[in-house]
């Protein structure tokens, strides 16, 4: 029974006690007895219902107090876990704000407050926990697609020549150069026929043309043995621009080798040469050219070192400076390099091979009354 119903029952009992004296005063005893009986029975029923409701209310109140104590204990534990440094103050503040008129932690409206469940009392977020241990490595993934090919690298330097191979079999003897053969060559070269007076052949090192009084047989490239090779040829050669091959085998078999010649003027030596045929630029590390020339009607020729002019009645073909391999490397011959050399177009890379170094005079066994120690030696090529 609610409190409102209990108040109505008490009010009814008060009315009965007020009516009974009034009815007695009216003198109607029969009616009074009947009404009293009815009221008494109703009062007993109400009293029994009131006691029953009171007992239930007492039990319910006891249960509520017990649940309230459990809820308060849970709230205290929750607050301590959220903020350990201010448990008492924070729990007291939150508990007082949630208490109703009877001191119970409640929320809502109505005659009886509804208990707040722990789920609804959500506190402040807790601190971040420590990082967990790293997990195990996963399985390797599938191989990706191959990348694009990179750009080709620069060519490496030439390695040292291998050991010399065994000598090959000697070839058959060449055809002898007869007068008829010489006449045939002169005819093929377009030279004027001359059966009584021959001519001479010389190499003009560093140029692709001949002198004004000579005929060009061919032009080509200066060549020789590798500058640190102990074997091979000891002379320089002028090889044609376009070779004519015979029987051959691909690859290097390890025999003698022929390399191009690089100008080394200006490296460990002076550079006395003219730059009129190189656009005014130095030609250090450029590759050397050459020309083979025929002197029609002048069967004799000579290269004179340390001179720039020819003897009387001799024709000067060209003049320049004496060159050879460096003194620290293996020997090759002395040749006369033209005073204004040309180069192979586009050749400036340091690839090595045979070398042209200028030659300097050294006093001692060479008398220095006229020669000067350290001066570059000149040269001239003459014909007659």
Q: Which among 102, 96, 98 is positioned nearest to 65, based on CA atoms? A: 102
3-state secondary structure of 79: helix
C-alpha–C-alpha distance, residues 337 and 381, integer Å: 10
**Cβ atoms of 294 and 201 closer than 8 Å:** yes
| 328 burial level (CB within 10 Å; 0-12, 13-18, 19+) | exposed
Beta partners for 204? 291
**Cβ atoms of 278 and 272 closer than 8 Å:** no
Element (H, E) at 316: strand 315-324
| 104 burial level (CB within 10 Å; 0-12, 13-18, 19+) | buried
369's tokens:
């009354």
C-alpha–C-alpha distance, residues 351 and 317, integer Å: 32
**Cβ atoms of 200 and 300 closer than 8 Å:** yes
38's tokens:
């009815």
* Domain range annotation of the chain: 3-106, 197-242+255-383
C-alpha 32, offset from chain centre: 118
**Cβ atoms of 115 and 69 closer than 8 Å:** no
342's tokens:
């040309």
Give the 3-state DSSP-derived string for 12-67, with helices as H, strands as E and coil as C.
HHHHHHHHHHHHHHHCCHHHHHHHHHHHHHHHHHHHHHHHHHHHHHHHHHHHHHHH
**Cβ atoms of 267 and 329 closer than 8 Å:** no
Enter the DSSP assignment of 349. Answer: S
Model pLDDT, residue 252:
84
Model pLDDT, residue 332:
79
Q: Over its length of 384 residues, how does the chain's per-residue pLDDT go in tens digits?
A: 554 455 555 556 565 555 555 545 545 567 667 878 888 888 888 888 888 888 888 888 888 888 888 888 888 888 888 755 444 554 454 445 445 555 554 444 444 444 444 444 567 788 888 888 888 888 898 888 888 888 888 877 777 777 777 777 776 765 555 667 766 776 777 665 554 568 999 999 999 999 888 999 999 999 998 877 777 788 999 999 999 999 888 988 878 888 899 888 876 778 899 999 988 888 888 899 999 999 988 999 999 999 999 999 999 999 999 998 887 777 778 999 999 999 988 777 677 788 888 999 999 899 988 999 999 999 999 999
**Cβ atoms of 327 and 238 closer than 8 Å:** no
Beta-strand relationship, 354-358 and 259-263? parallel
**Cβ atoms of 291 and 210 closer than 8 Å:** yes
| pTM for this predicted structure | 0.49
3-state secondary structure of 159: coil
253's tokens:
């078999």
Buried b (16+ CB within 10 A) or exposed e, 169-201: eeeeeeeeeeeeeeeeebeeeebeeeeeebbbe
CA atoms in the 13 A half-sphere facing the CB of 161? 21
C-alpha–C-alpha distance, residues 3 and 212, integer Å: 146
3-state secondary structure of 343: strand
């Amino acid at each position: 029974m609610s409190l409102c119903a209990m108040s109505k029952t008490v009010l009814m009992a008060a009315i009965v006690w007020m009516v009974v004296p009034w009815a007695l005063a009216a003198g109607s005893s029969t009616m009074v007895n009947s009404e009293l009986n009815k009221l008494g029975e109703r009062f007993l029923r109400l009293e029994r219902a009131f006691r029953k409701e009171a007992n239930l209310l007492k039990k319910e109140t006891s249960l509520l107090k017990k649940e309230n104590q459990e809820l308060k204990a849970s709230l205290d534990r929750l607050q301590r876990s959220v903020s350990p440094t201010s448990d008492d103050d924070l729990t007291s503040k939150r508990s007082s704000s949630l208490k109703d008129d009877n001191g119970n932690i409640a929320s809502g409206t109505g005659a009886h407050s509804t208990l707040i469940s722990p789920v609804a009392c959500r506190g402040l977020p807790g601190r971040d926990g420590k990082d967990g241990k790293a997990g195990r490595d996963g399985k390797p993934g599938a191989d990706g697609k191959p990348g694009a090919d990179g750009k080709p690298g620069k060519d490496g330097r030439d390695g040292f020549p291998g050991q010399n191979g065994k000598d090959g079999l000697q070839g058959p003897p060449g055809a002898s150069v007869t007068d008829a053969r010489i006449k045939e060559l002169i005819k093929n070269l377009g030279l004027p026929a001359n059966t009584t007076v021959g001519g001479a052949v010389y190499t003009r090192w560093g140029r692709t043309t001949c002198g004004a009084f000579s005929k060009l047989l061919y032009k080509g490239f200066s060549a020789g043995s590798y500058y640190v090779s102990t074997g091979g040829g000891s002379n320089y050669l002028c090889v044609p621009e376009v070779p004519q091959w015979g029987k051959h085998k691909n690859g290097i078999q390890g025999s003698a080798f022929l390399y191009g010649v690089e100008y080394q003027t200006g490296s460990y030596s002076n550079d006395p040469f003219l730059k009129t045929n190189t656009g005014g630029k130095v030609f250090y590390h450029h590759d050397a050219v050459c020309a083979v020339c025929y002197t029609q009607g002048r069967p004799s020729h000579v290269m004179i070192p340390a001179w720039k002019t020819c003897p009387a009645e001799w024709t000067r073909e060209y003049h320049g400076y004496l060159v050879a391999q460096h003194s620290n490397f293996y020997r090759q011959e002395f040749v006369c390099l033209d005073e204004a050399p040309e180069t192979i177009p586009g050749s400036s890379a340091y690839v090595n091979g045979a070398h042209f170094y200028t030659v300097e005079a050294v006093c001692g066994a060479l008398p220095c009354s006229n020669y000067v120690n350290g001066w570059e030696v000149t040269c001239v090529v003459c014909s007659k």
